[in-house]
Amino acid sequence: MGRDAGNRTGIAAAAPAWDRFAHWPQARARLALLALLLMLVASAIAPIAAGKSEVKTKSFVENLLPADSGGAERPRDDDLALYDRAIARIAKGENYYDFIVEEQRRSNYPVTPGLAVRLPTLAYLDAWLGESGQIVAAMLLLVAVMLAWWRRLGEEPGGEQRRRILTLSFLFVGASLGLNRYYFVLHELWTGMLLALAFALHRPGKWGAAFLVAALALAIRELALPFVLLMAAMAFWRRDWKEGAAWSALAALFLVALSIHLQIIAAQVLPSDRPSDPWLVVRGMPGWLSNISLSSNLRFLPHWLAGPLIVLMCLGWAGWRSSAGTFGTFLYLGYGLAFMIAGRPDNFYWGAVIAPAMFMGLSFAQNALASLLGAAFPESDANPGPTPLPAK
């Protein structure tokens, strides 16, 4: 017993402070390993599927997954075609709220509740930028995300070593979907990239730039609201009352703007309009895995591999004991829980809101797993604990 305890103490002492799991007590580590094993098995067998909407003739999945088109141009998804028409009408000088309800009704899309009608921000931005401007904006945004995370990783414990290059490589895999011009009119695409940038720009005590970027993401898609609320909660936890109040004020201001949007839409609803299908559909783990996998480059992998990789991403974030690691853990697990209980199968593209930066967790996953094994079985010579990457 004494030898095992001494061995365990030595492993924990040798591990860096940012290695969360290396410092866990044995009982907690073993419970975590059991939970991880069950999650990996469940994620490998859980079905990953998008389903189809009753109002769509072409689904996102049919266009996302590779298929032999015989050289023909890829058909435009019904959602994207609707956004195309909205952007074209704005470019001609029309007001968004003068036509959007009629456009959705004509396309057999629901207009009630008002959340079924997108906020106008992205349509105006796309109309102003034009196709060439959208390409430039997407490229600049990707570069900004990569550079911002390179800098933040260099300032975070555990990120200043050679792992930073590996982490940026995984980030590129997750964020590169933002360069797919076919989806430039998709709100979740831009929201996800902006949130990845806001996450990278944020520092406790230095949050102005992150605040502005997150505000733009929120103006594009209300699905960014949990990010803002988590920022507020973490600031209050640090007793940074000024920052917490700022994020809270942003959330309150957005809710006021959203209520105005809903009132404008509600005033145009007819008794004959079909309401939207419910969004509160408890899909459990398949909902979470499908949203992340099908809205990212994981869609090219077999389902039995894509699911466990998502679990390992979360493990990596959880094992990284730092300001970024803690926030990322709450962020991705929180959205994961939300995707389990909200969203229909054809709403899988919501996952693009968090997918880009989530991939970085894979660079910490191996270390996190080794730390859990070392903490759970310290008496085994086969588990000497994690070996940090050497510094440059």
pLDDT in tens, 80-121: 999 999 999 999 999 999 999 999 999 999 999 999 999 999
**For residue 68, pLDDT beyond 50:** no
**pLDDT of res. 366:** 94
In this structure, the chain runs to a length of 392
pLDDT tens track for 182-195: 999 999 999 999 99
Own/partner long-range contacts of 237-243 (Cβ < 8 Å, ≥24 apart): 238/204, 240/204, 240/205, 243/204, 243/205, 243/207
Three-state DSSP at 184 gives coil
Residue 156, token pair as written in the block: 């975070």
Whether 259 and 115 have beta carbons less than 8 Å apart is answered as no
Question: Does the residue 9 lie in any domain?
Answer: no
Name the residue among 372, 252, 253 with its Cα closest to residue 312: 372
Domain interval for residue 235 = 16-50+75-376
Name the residue among 195, 164, 163 with its Cα closest to residue 178: 195
Residue type, 80: L
**pLDDT of res. 97:** 97
Question: Does the residue 240 lie in any domain?
Answer: yes
β-bridge partners, 83: none
Question: Does the residue 123 lie in any domain?
Answer: yes
Query: Largest alpha-carbon pair distance within the chain?
Result: 79
- CA angle 215/101/110 to nearest 5° reads 90
Three-state DSSP at 49 gives coil
Residue spans of beta strands (DSSP E) within 100-162: none
Residue 230, token pair as written in the block: 């988590």
- Start-to-end CA distance of the chain, whole Å, equals 39
Question: Does the residue 346 lie in any domain?
Answer: yes
Write the DSSP symbol of residue 375.
Answer: H
**Buried-exposed string 302-335: b where 16+ CB fall within 10 A, e elsewhere:** ebeebbbbbbbbbbbbbbbbbbbbbbbbbbbeeb
Question: Does the residue 392 lie in any domain?
Answer: no
CA pair distance 153, 147, nearest whole angstrom = 10
**What percentage of the chain exceeds 70 in pLDDT?**
86
The total domain count for the chain is: 1
Question: Does the residue 41 lie in any domain?
Answer: yes
The residue written with tokens 């000497």 in the block is 384
pLDDT tens track for 194-252: 999 999 999 988 999 999 999 999 999 999 999 999 999 999 999 999 999 999 999 99
**pLDDT of res. 390:** 46
Question: In the predicted model, what is the mean pLDDT of the chain?
Answer: 89
Question: Does the residue 65 lie in any domain?
Answer: no
CA pair distance 277, 231, nearest whole angstrom = 31
pTM value is 0.90
Rg (CA), the chain: 22
- Range of lowest pLDDT (52-56, 309-313, 367-371): 52-56
CA pair distance 146, 140, nearest whole angstrom = 10
**For residue 11, pLDDT beyond 80:** no
Three-state DSSP at 16 gives coil
| Torsion, CA 214, CA 61, CA 328, CA 163, rounded to 10 | -110
Question: Does the residue 58 lie in any domain?
Answer: no
Whether 244 and 232 have beta carbons less than 8 Å apart is answered as yes
